[in-house]
Each structure stands twice: as C-alpha cells, then as structure tokens.
Amino acid sequence: MRVPSYLLRVQLDDRPGSLGSLAVALGSVGADILSLDVVERASGYAIDDLVVDLPAGAMPDMLITAAEALKGVHVDSIRPHTGLLEAHRELELIDHIAAAGSKAARLQVLADEAPRVLRVGWCTVARLTEEGLKRVAGSSGAPETQVDSAPWLPLEHAAALDATADWVPQLWRDMDTTLAAAPLGDPNTVVVLGRPGGPDFRPSEVARLGYLAGIVATILR
C-alpha cells in the first residue's frame, strides 16, 4: 500500500526551536517530514510548507491536531501531495521549457509543470483577443469552464486575483478556488494559477510567479 503524502502549510512563531517543536509534534503521530520550504517570513512569524508522509490508514486530521496543540502554530491548509520532490524545481522547469522547441510546445510545458513547481491545483495560459479570452494551453487539472470576460486584463505585474469577483465562474467559487496571474511578456497574455480549496496566495508566492513568468517570457522571445 502506498504511503500517503500531504502538503501542510503552517504559520508559526519565528523563534528558535519552534520548527523543531513542530517536527517532534508531527513525529509523535507517525508523520515523516520529507521536505520543507519557507513560503514567507515577516515580523514575528513564518509560513512554511511541509511535505509529510503518514502511516497507511492514518488520518490527516492527526497532523492538524498535533501541530495546533503547540502554542503559536496555526495550520493554514492541508491537502494531498502527489508531486515529485525536487530540489531545484524552477530551474528544471525552465530547462524543460527551453528544450520544448516551438512556442506552443513551450507554453504547454509551462502549463503542465507549473502546478507541481508552484504547488497549485492547475495552470492555464490565456490571451485576450478581439473575440475574447482565448485559452492557449492548460494543465491536466485545469477546469473546462471557460471565462467569459477578464476585466483585470491587461495585466502589468503578477497579482493575486479576486476569486469572488463576478467574472469568476460559479464552479470555481463553489470550490473556493484562489487565483493568481502574471503576464508573459505581453499584458494581454497571462499565465493563471488556480488553487481549489485555498489557501490564499501569499505575496512571496505571487512574486515567485512573476519572476518565473518573466524568465519564461524571455525564452519565448
């Protein structure tokens, strides 16, 4: 039986020993920490992503209970994790895009691999034309629902989008999908990320998307 893995996003006090205490607490319920990424640091707190394995048959709620038993720890979200663990995800994605050949193939590689690299549910590349918003590429998990309008275009910089706005399809809102987007060298051509069930995109994640999109735009040129 495959051991289940989960992506746990936690907010904890940014002080010596807090991460060690969290590791001990998770270990007490049989969790094995596979990786840790710092998502954001601010005055007094940190946001971390941890990929953890649980013993077969164990419930993920155990992770929340163990973590939040510690003072100053809050679980922002927990969701199944199926991606491969790689130390240099962005660099490998950029290499794969550069090697893809045609522009269409490169955009498809971006859409296919961005969810794993940026830890989101889906990715699409879209372009605003005279006929409306045209989907250029999409990941396997991207929703089939088409967007009728995009009043936030043109887009000059990476940004978290208002996922409750009228332009957002009802199905996306029903799934509590958080959204972020960045221009791909052209304010009317964008890469859009969706994260069903949240959590919200942190400023550092939006900035990371913007840097990646800027590099990809250079490759496409």
Residues 117 and 59 in one domain: no
Residues 20 and 129 in one domain: no
Residues 201 and 103 in one domain: yes
Residues 70 and 103 in one domain: no
Residues 158 and 115 in one domain: yes
196 within 8 A of 206, measured Cβ to Cβ:
no
Number of domains in the chain: 2
The percentage of the chain sitting over the pLDDT mark of 70, rounded to a whole number, equals 96
Residues 99 and 38 in one domain: no
pLDDT digits (tens, 9 = 90+) for 102-135: 999 999 999 999 998 888 999 999 999 888 789 9
Residues 51 and 110 in one domain: no
Residue finishing a domain among 80, 105, 140: 80
Residue finishing a domain among 53, 80, 107: 80
Residues 210 and 106 in one domain: yes
Residue finishing a domain among 16, 51, 80: 80
Residues 44 and 149 in one domain: no
CATH number at residue 31: 3.30.70.260
Residues 129 and 209 in one domain: yes
pLDDT of residue 83: 62
Residues 152 and 178 in one domain: yes
Residues 30 and 96 in one domain: no
- pLDDT band with cut points at 50, 70 and 90 for residue 20: confident
Q: In which domain, by residue range, is 135 found?
A: 89-220
Least confident of 37-46, 171-180, 192-201: 37-46
Quote the CA–CA distance of 3 and 22 in Å, as a whole number: 21
pLDDT digits (tens, 9 = 90+) for 176-188: 999 999 999 889 9
CATH number at residue 133: 3.30.450.40
The string of DSSP letters for 14-73 reads -STTHHHHHHHHHHTTT-EEEEEEEEEEETTEEEEEEEEE--TT--THHHHHHHHTSTTE
Please classify residue 117 by burial: count the beta carbons closer than 10 Å to its beta carbon, then call 0-12 exposed, 13-18 middle and 19+ buried.
buried
Given the structure tokens 């720890």, which residue do they identify?
73
